[in-house]
Structure 1
Amino acid sequence: MDLDFIYLLCLGLCLCYGDEEDGEELPRPSISAWPSPVVKRKSNVTLRCWTHFQNVTVTLGKLHSSEYQQERRSVGKEAEFCLTNLQPEDAGRYFCAYRPAASLKWSGQSQHLQLVVTG
């Protein structure tokens, strides 16, 4: 193997590794609800998280509910979380964050989406 190629490969790997530690923040994702963030009891809603990168790990969380967490691999720049048979206790503020495959760093949280369950 060519020593120049190996040198450049190692340099590139070192530079990429250094990016993990440089304190740069990943852009925050966005979150939306379909068909609406206001839904009736026993209905379904899809929460969509939009990221700035393709094929990332996306996590969905609920504010003040540390035990609630779902993870999905995005399809392109989007991940969908289907919440079914909603009950009043499912109401609350949801958010998402993402992590690129080659990174250990998570993005900041999206803005919070208020899900309201009526009836």
Structure 2
Amino acid sequence: MAPVALALILGWWLVAVIRAQHLPRPSLWLHPSQGVSVGDNVTLRCHLPWPVAWVWLYQEGGWTYSKSKDKQQDAAEFSFISTSREHAGTYRCQYREPESAKISEQSDPVQLVLTDHSFPPPGISLRPEERVGTGTNVTIHLWNKGFEATFLLHKDGCSAPVQHQDSSWGGAANFTVFGVAPADAGTYWCSYRPWHYPHLSSPLGDSVMLEVTPTPAPPGKSDPFFQCTPCCGWVAVSLHPVCMGVVAGNRNNQTPHRCQRIVPCKSGDSTGEGLGRCTRLWPWSLLCH
């Protein structure tokens, strides 16, 4: 009997896998996609490739929601009226095809991050505070009231945070922009997400303005910095013939837009001065050998 039972179990598992492989995966979207606070209304919309009978919405580590869907609709909506902290989290959706009862794979995850105004807004400052010239190193200092948290740096014109960093003891973090270029200029804010509530965010704090004065290139030399769009990651490109070309990718996989600039520097350092064998991916340094 044991071989027969094992064969039946393997057969059921194989059928389930085949069924899932034949159904396109649904997609899940948030409306609105950002800027949702505790107490606001939000809708999670599961987009479907064809009419289905049932749709499930799963909250990771939390609730499961289900609903039947009208065959004339290409999406199923799950709305939360007056959201609470418990609604924050990671969600996926899945559907069942009516005729064959096949069940699809789950959609890619979507994060519902809620701004909680019970958290005090963070502070932010620039060092140096005055207008700086191209190539200067600038530190953006962030702090809160002692929360252990992940700080997120926001820049005017960028829909997603441009950088994030875990706080040190005492609830503070520093972001250093090495060798600023005109594209770094702009208005910056920050927020934080407490470690114990990773899907809850503080409100944005006060802003700071980074002003960059372009430094003229020396006679006979072209300016090595190229103006690029203000969002949101850097790609380092080597000027040395041995390692010419792109040598590093984006700094934040969740940021959809990229810009590029050439960063020359001396061999063995990351100062951004002169020409040499090293290249830099902001905010880290990378050497070509």
Alignment of 1:1-119 (within 5 A): 20=85, 24-66=117-159, 69-75=162-168, 76-103=170-197, 104-119=199-214
TM-score (norm 2): 0.33
- Report the CA distance between 1:89 and its aligned residue: 1.1
- Report the CA distance between 1:50 and its aligned residue: 1.0
For CA contacts below 8 A with separation 6 or more, give which structure has more relative contact order: 1
Mean Cα displacement is larger for which, 45-54 or 85-94? Answer: 45-54
Q: Which has the higher strand share?
A: 1
CA offsets per residue over residues 64-118 of structure 1, 9 Å max, x none?
Answer: 1235510100112211000011111110000100011111210011111111001
What is the CA RMSD across the aligned residues, in angstroms?
1.8
Tell me which amino acid in the other structure corresponds to 1:100. Answer: P
CA 1:41–1:49: 2 relative to 1, 3 Å: same
- Take 1:107 and 1:67, find their aligned partners in 2: how far apart are those partners? 15
Gaps of 5+ in 1: 1-18
Gaps of 5+ in 2: 1-83, 87-115, 215-289
- Take 2:212 and 2:164, find their aligned partners in 1: how far apart are those partners? 23
Contact 2:138 2:176 in 1 (8 A): yes
CA 1:100–1:67: 2 relative to 1, 3 Å: closer
Give the share of equivalent positions with the same residue, in percent.
Answer: 33
Contact 2:137 2:178 in 1 (8 A): yes
Tell me which amino acid in the other structure corresponds to 1:70. Answer: Q
TM-score (norm 1): 0.75
- Report the CA distance between 1:37 and its aligned residue: 4.5
Instruction: Kindly tell me the number of residue pairs found equivalent between the two proteins.
Output: 100
